[in-house]
Structure 1
Amino acid sequence: MVLNLEGVTKRFGDFTAVSDVSFSVSKGEIVGFLGQNGAGKTTTLRMVMDILPVTGGKISLFGSEDLRKGRLRVGFLPEERGLYRKMKAVDTIAYFGRLKGVPGGKAKKKANELLERFGMEQYAQNKIETLSKGNAQKIQLLSVLTHEPEFLILDEPFSGLDPVNQKLLEDLIHSLRQEGATVLFSTHTMEHAERLCDRFVMVKNGEKVFEGTIDEAREAYERRLILTTTDDPSALVGKAGVTGVQPLGRNRFALQTSDGADTQAILAAALQLGITVIGFGREEVSLHDIFFRLAGASQEATA
């Protein structure tokens, strides 16, 4: 087990930021840590990195509760980006490598290799202050790779990146996993999590509300029965367990049903009533939909 949290709690005075959170990350996994802004994600990651002490519970990293022992095996990208604006890109990457114990010459060589690998070699001698926001963020990410960490913890890594750079970052995370790295990243943007994660942990108001795969989340999500028709399906109410009809627009209707209603019997009843059935079945749900349900998110929170 790379990371394990058991009943972790963090209080600041009377305010509880994280409450009794437990989850684990196994070797080779990509795990998404999801929740609205202010849900407790960053506080939890700071406890994992021993930046903040836990109030209760325990955390083990690579099997040890002494988190300092494992920190050199971790690459941590904090939510707050911090680069020396007057320093050159290649020197920045090498500097962070040296902080993780990589000898100076090897750190410089590794920095140049990373820049070349990710198509950034033309910026090697550029000062950070001359780079675009996206390129500066990529330099910061490369800075956590210099010491070849086994475990990457990325706090809101997609924040501030345009769609092209977001796709490049997704590709980078995939390639690192293929090379054996384990990744835990926090986000409130569901599209990235849906494309990248093996599993995800979702928190709301500092408490865990779900842990599992996307398929497991979909199974737990109550999916509506959708009928697409150009007719008025209200005659279905009272037939085969249909208790109500909700218009959704574009000839789509959500059918409310009683417990145990048989979807095939409902379809048969619709056809018997002469209703033109264009489409019929349980709705497809995305992680975005599940996030709304479980985390109580608003549209603004996922923008």
Structure 2
Amino acid sequence: MKIELGEWPVSGNAEGLAGTELAIEARGLVKRFDGFTAVDGVDISVPKGSIYGILGPNGAGKTTTLRMLLGIIDPDEGYRRVLGHERPTEVARRIGYLPEERGLYPAMKAYEAIGFLAALRGVPLKEGRRRGRELLEEHGLGYAADRQIRQMSKGMAQQVQLLGTLVHQPDLVVFDEPFSGLDALNQGKLERMIRALAERGTTVIFSTHVIAHAERLCDQVAIIAGGKVPFAGPVDVARDRLRPQVRLETRAQDGPWRAVLPADARHEGAFWYFTLPEIGVEPLLRALIEGDAGILSLSIERAGLHDAFVAIAGEAAARALEESAGETR
């Protein structure tokens, strides 16, 4: 008999932030453009040192939300506090920002471009260029330090701009769709970089329409659809909105044990599939054993973030998310 419990659900507290020092706090953010409400009452709390994802389809309001948090645009309603300041521009030098629309001067060499971005954040130009060479070497691009941006592939230029976002050693890093345009290898490198930043105590917030990145990286997420945030909190809490699913294989095809299976149990091939009952796994196992079901295997799988997204944001938002991901493949 094989029994796999997999990831067992843990109880979570969606509020769970009492006493936590926040890098970003926003309440009731609203932004309208020509009568259209792009962001409608967004609340976000980002703990210091965490990796926080804003997950939603294209057009959901992710970029507008990030720009309000950074002070690039002001909200029509609500307030935000970033690194303890109500005016985010006052702490701009402590923030690294990679916008969705990338842009570097094509005639600049790679190390010069990084040095220039560092200078915009208060680092002396000579020091910024030195750091630029150092970062390029550290990330396997040392051979391209003296290459002009126009001579680089799109992916390589994107990596240069990414390093320029980090060169001034910010306390808070904000990425807008950072994985777009990167191949699988460079996406993996970026994921490792984001984890390394968090391990050093840097707060990272990024927007994405790809659930896999959010699920692998994020401590917390804000699910956004139609300018609203129906959920913001720990990934575990989002997943625990749904009961775990059970896959059961038995030797016996029928018997008194069938009575203990939940109403949603369905038989497909050699397996039974159903939602884990509220009573838990132990009474279920006991009933199966006493009923001579002959358990061959039993596995319990926690709901994934995709299923949680569907449950929280709805089928239409989930379809839009999948379409957004398809557009960038």
Using structure 1 for the length normalisation, give the TM-score. 0.88
User: 1:242 and 1:147 mapped to 2: Cα distance?
Assistant: 57
Contact in 2 for aligned 1:242/1:266 (Cα 8 Å)? no
CA distance in 1: counterparts of 2:144 and 2:220, whole angstroms: 35
In the TM superposition, what is the alpha-carbon distance from 1:231 to its structure 2 partner?
6.5
How big is each residue's C-alpha offset from its partner over 1:252-271, in whole Å with a ceiling of 9 and x where there is no partner? 332368x7566545445555
Give the gaps of 5 or more residues in structure 2. Answer: 1-21
Q: 1:240 to 1:134 in 2, by over 3 A?
A: same
| Counterpart check, 1:280 vs 2:298 | yes
1:150 matches 2:171? yes
1:100 paired residue number: 121
Aligned residues: 300
Q: Which 5+ residue runs of structure 1 have no aligned equivalent? A: none
Measure the CA separation in 2 of the matches of 1:256 and 1:117.
48
Does 1:253 find its partner at 2:253? no
Q: Provide the rounded CA distance (Å) in 2 between the counterparts of 1:59 and 1:179.
A: 25
Structure 1 residues 255 and 197: alpha-carbon distance in aligned structure 2, compared to 1, 3 A threshold? closer
SS in 2 for 1:144: helix
Letter in 2 for 1:46: R
Return the letter of the residue paired with 2:308. Answer: I
**What residue is the counterpart of 1:58 in the other structure?**
79
User: Which residue is 2:237 aligned to?
Assistant: 216
SS at 2:295's partner residue? coil
RMSD (Å) for aligned C-alpha atoms:
2.5
Aligned partner of 2:310: which letter?
F
Q: Which residue number in structure 2 is paired with residue 74 of structure 1?
A: 95
Percent identical across equivalent pairs? 38
- 2:54 matched to 1:33? yes
**For 1:1-303, what aligned pairs fall within 5 Å after superposition?**
1-229=22-250, 239-240=259-260, 242-247=262-267, 249=268, 251-255=270-274, 260=278, 263-270=281-288, 275-296=293-314, 297-298=318-319, 299-303=322-326
CA contact (8 A) 1:35 1:295 kept: no
Q: Pick 1 or 2: higher relative contact order, CA cutoff 8 A, min separation 6.
A: 2
- CA 1:66–1:231 in structure 2 vs 1: closer, same or farther (change >3 Å)? same
Query: Hey, what's the Cα distance between the residues in 1 that align with 2:32 and 2:215?
Result: 31
Structure 1 residues 243 and 26: alpha-carbon distance in aligned structure 2, compared to 1, 3 A threshold: closer
- For 1:251, the aligned partner's letter is A
In structure 2, do the counterparts of structure 1 residues 40 and 271 end up closer, same or farther at CA, with 3 Å as the change threshold? same
Give per-residue Cα distances to partners, 1:116-162, cap 9 Å, x unaligned. Answer: 12121110111112212221110010111222211100011111111
Summarize the Cα distance change of 1:250–1:34 in structure 2 as closer, same or farther, 3 Å threshold.
Answer: farther
